[in-house]
Amino acid sequence: MLRLLLARLGQAALVMLAVSAVSFGMFRFVGDPVAALSRENATIAEKAELREQLGLDRPVVVQFAGFLSRIVRGDFGISFRNQRPVATLIAERLPATLELVLVATLLSLALGIPLGVLCALKPDGVAARLVQAVSLIGISTPTFVTGIVLILTFAVTLGLLPSFGRGETVQIGPWSTGLLTLSGLKALILPSITLALYQLTLIMRLVRSELIDVLSSDYIRFARARGLSARHIHFTLALRNALMPVITVTGLQIGSLIAFAIVTETVFQWPGMGLLFIQAVSFSDVPVMAAYLLFVGLLFVLINTAVDLLYALVDPRLRVRA
């Protein structure tokens, strides 16, 4: 088991190195922030001096080596745009993104599972067909369109919910939460629906197909023959088994929700990491972009490593092979 763990961690480190190299290579093409940071009348000497101070005049390989050695020491640099340490910025923005992702995940589970069950149990019913049709729209509409439509409906036309921001937040130690105030909760509704929509559809369809599969298996047939109640069979015996892959997919999806909350956060001016990243891109704020990409890379590596290890725990055959 220990050997497996070490092997996995070694692989994870290699992946991270690759991620940082690829992302750093990309920065060659995102330009430099000198123009954005300079005053309009700046002389050529002024611009050259700034470029030199930022280390942008050095060869990419040298810049990358410097970057890696700083990362190892835990120094992510200072944001060109926000002029504050990148680590502080990410720590400040993380709560906003995590709360949004958490609520969106809960929402997609709370709605996706019952709807999936409905579609599986009564596949030819009017309700199931309607849900299926609507879910197609949900999966095919781009996030920014959904977001804007929600804003126009609930903020502009009905005036019920805020169209942007996070509302009032309460600071608990390093964590700022919007879950404890009314305005914070109201502000969460539209962005979390927008973010959850895709995942909701995914979970619903997954539950439906898994459940249909399970319901046609032998043990359910025997349970029916034994005369157990339909309720017991559907929810206690069948659904439990159908949910196994759903849990795996949801876990993996949390990673991508965090990584791809960028669009939702931009549409709703949600002060999370996605917004931080998108602004860094338009400013070629290299330290922020690099740290963000590393963070997302780390997140996926961690989730995948955890899943691999869990599988190994569950399935002894994998242990032998490793």
Partner 1 sequence: MNRIAMLLAAVSATALISTATDAKTVRWSAPTDIATLDPFAQTESFTTAMLHHVFDPLVRRGRTMQLEPALATGWKAVKPDTWRFELRKGVKFHNGNAFTADDVVASVTRLLDPGARARGNLSQVIRAEKVDDFTVDLVTKGPYPLLLNDLAGIYIMDKEWMEQTGSLKPGNIATGVSTAASTTAIGTGPFKLESFKPDAGTNMVVNPDWWDKPEHNVTRIEFKPIKSDATRVAALLSGELDLIAPAPLQDLARISANSAFKVIEEPSLRLIFLGLSQRDELKSMPGQKNPLKELKVRQALWQGIDLDAIQKRVMRGKSQNTGTLVAPPVPGYDKANDTLLGYNADKAKALLTEAGYPNGFKLGLNCPNDRYINDEAICVAVAAMWSRIGVQTDVKTESRATYFPKQDRGEFDSFMLGWATLPPMDGFSVLSALLTAPKDGFGGSNSMGYTNPEIERLTREAAVELDEPKRRGMMVQALKVAKDTIAYIPLHLQPVAWASRQGLDVPQFPDEYVRLWFAQVK
Please, what is the minimum distance in Å from the beta carbon of residue 268 to partner 1? 7
Among positions 4, 5, 11, 38, the unique one binding partner 1 when judged by CB under 8 A: 38
Among positions 216, 217, 236, 282, the unique one binding partner 1 when judged by CB under 8 A: 282
Q: Which stretch binds partner 1 (CB under 8 A): 42-50, 107-115, 209-217, 243-251?
A: 42-50
Please name the helix (run of DSSP H) or strand (run of DSSP E) that holds residue 76, with its range, or none. none
> How far from chain centre, in Å, is Cα 73?
27
User: What sign for the dihedral angle of Cα 254, 260, 266, 268?
Assistant: negative
Is position 163 an interface residue for partner 1 (rule: CB under 8 A)? Answer: yes
Please, what is the minimum distance in Å from the beta carbon of residue 138 to partner 1? 20
Q: Which stretch binds partner 1 (CB under 8 A): 2-10, 107-115, 134-142, 272-280?
A: 272-280
Cβ contacts of residue 304 below 8 Å, gap of 6+? 252
CA terminus-to-terminus distance, the chain: 9
Please name the helix (run of DSSP H) or strand (run of DSSP E) that holds residue 219, with its range, or none. helix 218-225
CA distance 12 to 7: 9
CA distance 259 to 256: 5
φ/ψ (deg, to 5) at 298: -60, -40
10: its two tokens:
């070694």
Among positions 16, 102, 132, 165, the unique one binding partner 1 when judged by CB under 8 A: 165
Is position 276 an interface residue for partner 1 (rule: CB under 8 A)? Answer: yes
Please, what is the minimum distance in Å from the beta carbon of residue 265 to partner 1? 9
Site for partner 1 in 52-111 (CB under 8 A): 53-54, 77-85, 89, 92
Question: CA angle, 194 as apex, 185 and 168 as ends, to 5°?
Answer: 25
Please, what is the minimum distance in Å from the beta carbon of residue 100 to partner 1? 14
Is position 140 an interface residue for partner 1 (rule: CB under 8 A)? Answer: no
Residues found near partner 1 in the complex (CB under 8 A): 29-47, 50, 53-54, 77-85, 89, 92, 147-148, 151-152, 155-156, 159, 162-166, 266-269, 271, 275-276, 278-279, 282-284
